[in-house]
Chain A
Amino acid sequence: MMAAPAKAPERSATTAAPQLTIGKALNHALRAAMEADPKVLIMGEDVGKLGGVFRITDGLQKDFGEHRVLDTPLAESGIIGTAIGLAVRGFRPVCEIQFDGFVFPGFDQIVSQLAKLHFRSQGKVKVPIVVRIPFGGGIGAVEHHSESPESLFSHTAGLRLVSCSNPVDAYWMLQQAIRCDDPVLFFEPKKLYHTGSLKETVDPTASPDPLFASRVLRSGTAATLVTYGPSVRVCLDAAIAAAEEGTSLEVIDLRTLSPLDLEPVFESVRKTGRLIAVSEAPSESSLTSEIAARVQQECFYSLEAPVLRVTGFDTPYPPTKLEEYYLPDLDRVLHTVDRALTW
């Protein structure tokens, strides 16, 4: 299950497990979820005939019909609100938001209604909705098309947030999110959707790890990198580069962003004594700040250096020509590792 450096495709003679990109794995996951449960519906702008702007819902309307894969008018607030109504009547809607920044017209329905119905009904009402949000930068687009808005939602109790970073997780985590009785915001690293070099064998007969759990992807001793979504690749690459220089880095993929599963991070920090949190989101009041706060509370006597962060900037997401400055990359991560090691 490790999103490890590309290994040779494993093909056994008996199973025909396919080699999938993250995008295709999500598509297969939606198909499997719809086959398993007739209450699962997909809705969003251009998800039907077009198969979604990123083609994640490709072919599903053709195979499951217009009553299960619903094209909607352009109206995010209406999409989320409708999904809530469907959910309280027993359906399991999966809403697609085309790009991160377009979730905001639906923000009110998510934060004011979706997050609170279970609490407000003293636990009587369940709202098992998944909102799929392609997020993050690196595709040469501008604000609204490259943002990492996760901490705007993690600040809201009642929502679960998860993010996948590899095809195997994409396949299982999306199905688990759809089966979950709580609302789940599912953050997809859009720049990796169709990256052929990340293809993995996805075995639908395997048994997946639990959804709401972080995972150590690579073990190391000198420092810990904790990250999620698109930055996982950057951190793994940094760990490989550091290993060549003789520095052993541990890499943890958070997978669940809210509530956070930090026990594996605490354990790691007790071993390495150093933590670098990496995310594309702006740093102020973000997931990385939350991690830093909790790690210093839990691991104070183990820390050899302050918790450091490599993040986006506290600015609007910049256009293409400034992206290279904005996004955490190998150099910034390695530089920060050096700072932690020489503190």
Chain B
Amino acid sequence: MTETLSTPAAGELNAEGLLDAYRTMRTIRVFEERVHDEFATGEIPGFVHLYAGEEASATGVCSHLDARDSIASTHRGHGHCIAKGVDPVEMMAEIYGKRTGSCHGKGGSMHIADLSKGMLGANGIVGGGPPLICGTALAAKQQNNGGVGVAFFGDGASNQGTTLESLNLASVWNLPAIFVAENNGYAEATASTWSVAADNIADRAAGFGMPGVIVDGFDFFAVHEAAGEAISRAREGGGPTLIEVKFTRYFGHFEGDQQAYRADEVANARDKLDCLKRFRARVTESGQLESSALDTVDSEVAALIESAVTEAKAAPKPTGVDLETDVYVSY
């Protein structure tokens, strides 16, 4: 049942939609590159896993989503947050562990969440997200509001029992759920060509009785089209889809990773495959957008991220009192 899509048309996106998509991808990229730089100064605590290189996946999928829809993310969650509309300024403060952050500094990079945006959270537990999405998808189905749930997870997570249980559940209940397997080639140092027994993660879809699709994760338009089909099918009661998005992460598994396990595949990807470069080339060559419009977005994004960092650094830390709040609803 697995099919590989050929490069599709730009879909139904008009100039405004294209510009939004570009802005989202660009925001994720600049956010991540800045976190990379700031992490090196030692000011950002904890473990940080960066999404740079993978922007087309979160953006291509989330550009179809609205307030009814929810997503579950992973430890590499900044991109999913931004694409689902979480405020980058609050996110930066969260990553700095500050009180003004999306989770009041209690989540940090690996647990950023904003339920008001339908973002169920990044997740420190690999495979933690997919079951939650079965729940929000079942809720949408019972409430009959046309909403969908999207679970993003990695190639490593695709081998976790929770993920496989969720694929089956979603199919058994014919849920409006989309499973986006982000295959960046590695789970930490473990190659997905080894750890995934099938040739492709999407091949497993057949075993769960749902469609499986493979897309080039560097191509925003390919992701956008595949996700669009899957999401409209789900909204109309057609059940779940497994989409495998293939690409490379630009940074190490976490900030500080020596990356001895991989040869330099990044230089080539950044140079030849990069989602932002390809997007820009395509929309300007086709005449859909002017280069200058994209340049304007670039400078707006640069200013946004700059102020996010300045605000995050200046924001207050949580205090000991914050430690004991919000464990229970009432006391």
Contact = CB atoms under 8 A, between A and B. Distances in A.
Interface of A: 45-46, 49-50, 53, 71, 73-75, 77-78, 101-102, 104-105, 140-145, 313-316, 318-322, 325-326
A101 B125 contact: yes
A73 B162 CA distance: 14
Contact of B45 (A101, A314, A315, A319): A319
B189 A46 contact: yes
B80 to A, nearest CB: 18
A73 B188 CA distance: 11
A144 B127 CA distance: 13
Interface in B276-331: 317-320, 322-324, 327
Interface of B: 45-47, 97-98, 105-108, 110-111, 124-127, 156-157, 159-162, 187-190, 195-196, 260-261, 317-320, 322-324, 327
A45 B320 contact: no
Nearest to B111: A142
A101 B323 contact: no
Contacts of B317: 321
The interface centre, meaning the residue of A49, A101, A313, A321 with most chain B CB atoms within 10 A of its CB, is A321
Nearest to B192: A73
A142 B125 contact: no
B162 A74 contact: no
Nearest 6 pairs of A and B residues by beta carbon: A320-B45, A74-B156, A325-B320, A144-B124, A73-B159, A321-B97
A191 B313 CA distance: 27
B88 to A, nearest CB: 19
Contact of B190 (A46, A105, A316): A46
A322 B47 contact: no
Contacts of A50: 188-189, 260-261
A49 B110 CA distance: 26
Contact of B324 (A53, A102, A104, A315): A315
Nearest to B254: A53
24 contacts: A46-B188, A46-B190, A53-B188, A73-B187, A74-B159, A75-B160, A75-B161, A101-B125, A104-B125, A105-B125, A105-B127, A105-B160, A140-B45, A140-B46, A142-B111, A315-B324, A315-B327, A316-B327, A318-B323, A320-B46, A321-B105, A321-B317, A322-B106, A322-B322
Contacts, number: 99
Given A319-B45, A322-B318, A325-B323, A74 B190 contact: yes
Q: Is the interface of B mostly helix, strand, loop or mixed?
A: loop
Given A73-B190, A75-B159, A320-B108, A313 B323 contact: yes
Contacts of A325: 319-320, 323
Contacts of B106: 318-319, 322
Nearest to B47: A141
B314 to A, nearest CB: 15
A78 B161 CA distance: 8
A49 B189 CA distance: 8
Contacts of B105: 319, 321-322
A227 to B, nearest CB: 22
A191 B190 CA distance: 25
B188 A105 contact: no
Contact of B46 (A105, A315, A319): A319
B323 A142 contact: no
A74 B323 contact: no
Given A75-B159, A142-B108, A315 B323 contact: yes
Contacts of A53: 188
A141 B195 CA distance: 27
Contacts of B188: 45-46, 50, 53
A321 B318 contact: yes
A144 B188 CA distance: 17
Contacts of A77: 161
A73 to B, nearest CB: 4
A29 B161 CA distance: 32
Contacts of A143: 111, 124
A10 B162 CA distance: 51
Nearest to A53: B188
Contacts of A313: 323-324
Given A46-B190, A74-B127, A142 B110 contact: yes
The interface centre, meaning the residue of B124, B159, B261, B319 with most chain A CB atoms within 10 A of its CB, is B124
A50 B190 CA distance: 9
Contacts of A49: 189, 261
A44 to B, nearest CB: 11
A343 B45 CA distance: 40
Contacts of A45: 187-188, 190
Nearest to A142: B108
A145 B107 contact: no
A319 B160 contact: no
Nearest to B98: A321
B126 A74 contact: yes
Contacts of A74: 126-127, 156-157, 159-160, 187, 190, 195
A102 B125 contact: yes
Contacts of A318: 106, 323
A24 B220 CA distance: 46
A319 B125 contact: no
